[in-house]
Amino acid sequence: MCQKIIDCKGTTLFTGVGKTSFVAKKVCQTLASTGTRSIFLNAVDALHGDIGVLNGGDVLVMLSESGETHELVTLLPYAKAKGAVVVACTNAPNSTLAGRADAHVRVPGDGDVARRKTLERRKSIDAASAAPPPVTYTALQLLFGDTCAVYLMELKGLTKNQYALNHPAGRIGKRLVLRVGDVMKPWSELPLCSPSTNGADALVRMAGTSKGYGCLLVVDEQRRLLGTFSDADLRRALTRIGESVLLMTTRELMNFGKGAFPRATTPSAMAFDAHVTMEAGNPVEYLPVISEDGEKTLLGLVTTRDLAECGMS
């Protein structure tokens, strides 16, 4: 069955009736998320026009415990007439679906747990009148579908990055696909200052234009990043020096007490790696984004808020 799906040049469709239809939908979603083109076909609607989505060369997988589901038995010859390969997955190798399909896979079930318990309590009642919902067999069908999905992933050699591309809103997708350049604020929107700006002017600019970033970005005339001047730098300087810091330049105040170039990242870096960098050591709430050519040209800024808004943290 998996080989037929691998060889399929069209679409793999799954169908079922009743509770099995929900199993078919779930299997389709799992296959689609792991790189197999797959859609759910409502058997009843297919008999009234939706069979139009089925084309020659497609694979149609029918799920039915008994293999005698009326809608599926009715649909089967029309699906074959359109050139689809029909695979029946049942617990009855001698059933109508098993005999008429192009291929049959037995999904075995040793009776239903609820049915056996009912019969144990009410031995005088026959199986038909005591039959409960098929809770056990639907679980087996789900297990079967997930097993096929894993096997297909192995046959295709699906990588984590390929999987992530199919899950852009999920944590895996964000970690493996989203880059700093996708979430950063561009430099034109950032609060900048020159290294000669004095502490008083920097304080006014920080209060009026920092836009919640908590820092000023100190750049030269070529927009090369020299450092950052944050409110934390200002507090440390005031504690150690006093009010005279208002006359000092941002070159003297930036990264105060650290004596090193600030942590930074590049647009091509993974956003998740930037998040890890922010959390390492003494956590920071922002990372300047600089060019990768060694010139340290300021390109933007990424903050913990940016990462939180995209679901990274």
| Same domain for 184 and 153 | no
- What φ, ψ does residue 226 adopt, rounded to 5°? -105, -30
Contact of 58 with 13, CB cutoff 8 Å: yes
Residues 124 and 47 in one domain: yes
Question: Residue 77 belongs to what domain range?
Answer: 2-158
Q: In angstroms, rounded to a whole number, what is the distance separating the alpha carbons of residues 279 and 143?
A: 40
- Determine the pLDDT at residue 309: 75
Is 146 found in the same domain as 186? no
- Is 170 among the domain residues? no
Whether 197 and 143 share a structural domain: no
Q: Are residues 47 and 148 in the same domain?
A: yes
Q: In this structure, are residues 246 and 198 in contact, taking their beta carbons and an 8 Å threshold?
A: yes
Whether residues 215 and 291 share a domain: the answer is yes
Check whether residue 10 and residue 154 sit in a common domain.
yes
Query: How confident is the prediction along the chain (313 residues), in pLDDT tens digits per residue?
Result: 988 998 888 999 999 999 899 999 999 988 887 778 889 999 999 999 899 999 999 999 999 999 999 999 999 999 999 999 999 999 999 999 999 999 999 998 866 555 555 555 555 555 455 555 667 888 899 999 989 988 888 887 766 555 555 555 455 555 566 788 888 899 988 888 888 888 888 877 777 655 556 688 889 999 999 888 887 788 888 888 888 888 888 888 887 656 567 888 999 988 888 888 888 877 888 889 999 888 899 999 988 888 777 766 5
Residue in the block written with tokens 């409960």: 132
pLDDT of residue 312: 62
Q: Are residues 147 and 194 in the same domain?
A: no
pLDDT at 42: 94
In a domain, 163, yes or no: no
Q: How many domains does the chain fold into?
A: 2
Do 89 and 207 belong to one domain?
no
Residue 78 inside a domain? The answer is yes
pTM, rounded to two decimals: 0.53
Give 52's DSSP letter.
G
How many Å apart are CA 138 and CA 21, to the nearest integer?
A: 10
CATH number of the domain that 81 lies in?
Answer: 3.40.50.10490
In the numeric block, the tokens 């389709």 are attached to 28
